[in-house]
Chains A and B, each alone.
Chain A
Amino acid sequence: MLLVYAGENVYAEGEREQCMAESVQLCHQLKTKGQYLAASPLRSVSLATSVRIRNGKRLVTDGPFAETSEQLGGYFLVEANNLDEAIDIASRIPGAKKGTVEVRPIEELTNLPNTGA
């Protein structure tokens, strides 16, 4: 699993589009070597919602995961019709009881290789 971190504002005009195009290219190269499984850009962090379960109660808040003392521990990629469905699934993830599940929509690119080995 390769995770990409960057400030959302570091891309100048047009740079983001170029980054997307190059990323798609890389995906196709990996595909030919049988190394590609899946990739997607995430939509803006301003669309993030955090879900936690504490004392059996669901806590939903605006914004991304912001604790620096905890580490990324896993991921789920799911199909949901709307945010409420995604929050329902997020609150069923056992990790939500100890940590936080950040819900982010992904940007669907149409020119990526088919998913899977």
Chain B
Amino acid sequence: MSVEEIRQTVDGVYRAESRRIFATLVRLIGDFDLAEEVLHEAFASAIEHWPQTGVPTNPRAWLVSTGRFKAIDAIRRRTRFDASIAAVGNRLEEIERSKSVREETEIEDDRLRLIFTCCHPALAPSTQIALTLREVCGLSTEDIASAFLSAPPTIAQRIVRGKAKIRDAKIPYQVPTLADLPDRIDSVLSVIYLVFNEGYSASSGTSLTRPDLSAEAIQLGRLLSELLPDSEVLGLHALMLLHESRRTARASPNGDLILLEDQDRSQWNQQQIAEGTALVGRALSSPQFGVYTLQASIAAVHAEAPSTAETDWAQIVALYDLLLRADPSPVVELNRAVAVAMRDGPASGLGLIEAILQRGDLVDYHLLHAARADLCRRLGKSAEARESYRRALSLAQQEPERRFLEKRLTELG
């Protein structure tokens, strides 16, 4: 192989395997920063050696083993200069004793360990998100900062502090025990869903979506579905795919929001719908399904309908009833009200929304006022519709949503 071909091979291995190798190195070395450092040294070493020796039969094992030796060297050097870190010596012996490559399942477990460590509830949620994108997905600090509209130093500081807490408060690098697993999975799933939503429906800013973040979240969902096929893991993976399938249809070429009822359904991604629907089926076959699976089921009912009018709204309302029982929140209640309006007519939905408002819930939630405005508009109550659109507009942060509301206001005259 030519040097150029070797370089391409190394690039390919880097793209496909580097975070996996990193996860294993963290387990072997017990230090995020050193693992990152020797990961890059191992790849540099591959570029240097593979042209002479040829590409090893198991490149990943070679890279892990090389990284491990580099780590041992680095720790030896540091201990020589700084006696105060002699404690590291014990760690060194452990690394030397450990077999560098174990069973394939162990390697896969390393990726799970990394996810659970980065999403540990003892870290602030914003830190969990930054660490997961950096350490598990391998995104650069700059990419994460631009995705979340933050300054790179802010994100860098969050990551440094997160790693310091993992190291100094001894957050363990392990898959949680069976007893803790449900809680800890919740924490991981909420990080993945937050990343997805930030990509699918950016909370602020000029563009409706940031597809890269959603793609990362779906990739994480896929990884987790393979490693830990718990019903809610499958449910979230399905939910993300089913939402993602509508991405191109929900925004016009100039970035305006298109409501579900007005979307060109031929643009929906059928492959994602098929994959998502199959996952919903698997998730529903478990008795422990929960909120993600129920939301995915609702999305699946929409996905199979040829139009809004032909949608099985009775089934959607029934699914919202189950969802309300599992997660009694005013936002779910609002969504159920909209589905009831579709099943029984706008007046029924409006009554339910008024009830939420009278309780004092969601008074500052722009989507409640937008939904109320829409139902009033359908009932011919133009004055009330205008008032609610104005209220929604005063609360909405996102440019495309604001443009949509302004358009509706203009249409009302």
Interface residues of A (CB under 8 A from B): 43-44, 46-49, 57-58, 60-63, 81-84, 87, 103, 105
Contacts and interface: CB of A to CB of B under 8 A. Distances in A.
A105 B169 CA distance: 6
19 contacts: A43-B169, A46-B164, A46-B165, A47-B169, A48-B169, A49-B122, A60-B122, A61-B122, A62-B121, A62-B124, A62-B127, A62-B165, A63-B124, A81-B170, A81-B172, A82-B171, A83-B122, A84-B172, A87-B122
B4 interface: no
B123 interface: yes
Contacts of A48: 169
Contacts of B211: none
A21 B83 CA distance: 20
Contacts of B164: 46-47
* Residue of A57, A61, A63 most packed against chain B (CB within 10 A): A61
B122 A105 contact: no
Which 6 pairs show the lowest CB-CB distances between chains A and B? A82-B172, A60-B121, A49-B122, A47-B169, A62-B124, A82-B170
A28 B382 CA distance: 82
Interface string B62-85: 000000000000000000000000
Contacts, number: 47
A43 B168 contact: yes
A103 B127 CA distance: 19
B121 A61 contact: yes
Given A57-B183, A62-B124, A105-B168, 12 more contacts: A43-B168, A43-B169, A47-B165, A61-B121, A62-B122, A62-B123, A82-B171, A82-B172, A83-B172, A84-B174, A87-B122, A105-B170
B381 interface: no
Given A49-B122, A60-B122, A62-B122, A84 B165 contact: no
A58 B183 contact: yes
Contact of B169 (A57, A61, A81, A83): A83
A104 to B, nearest CB: 8
B378 interface: no
B170 A83 contact: yes
B124 A84 contact: no
A49 B121 CA distance: 9
A61 B183 CA distance: 13
B411 interface: no
Contact of A84 (B161, B168, B180): B180
Contacts of A61: 121-122
A97 B78 CA distance: 46
Contacts of A87: 122
A63 B161 CA distance: 12
A31 to B, nearest CB: 26
A60 B186 CA distance: 12
Contacts of B176: 84
A87 B180 CA distance: 11
B62 to A, nearest CB: 31
Interface in B142-166: 161, 164-165
Nearest to A104: B169
Contacts of A105: 168-170
A49 B169 CA distance: 9
Contacts of B122: 49, 60-62, 83, 87
A48 B161 CA distance: 12
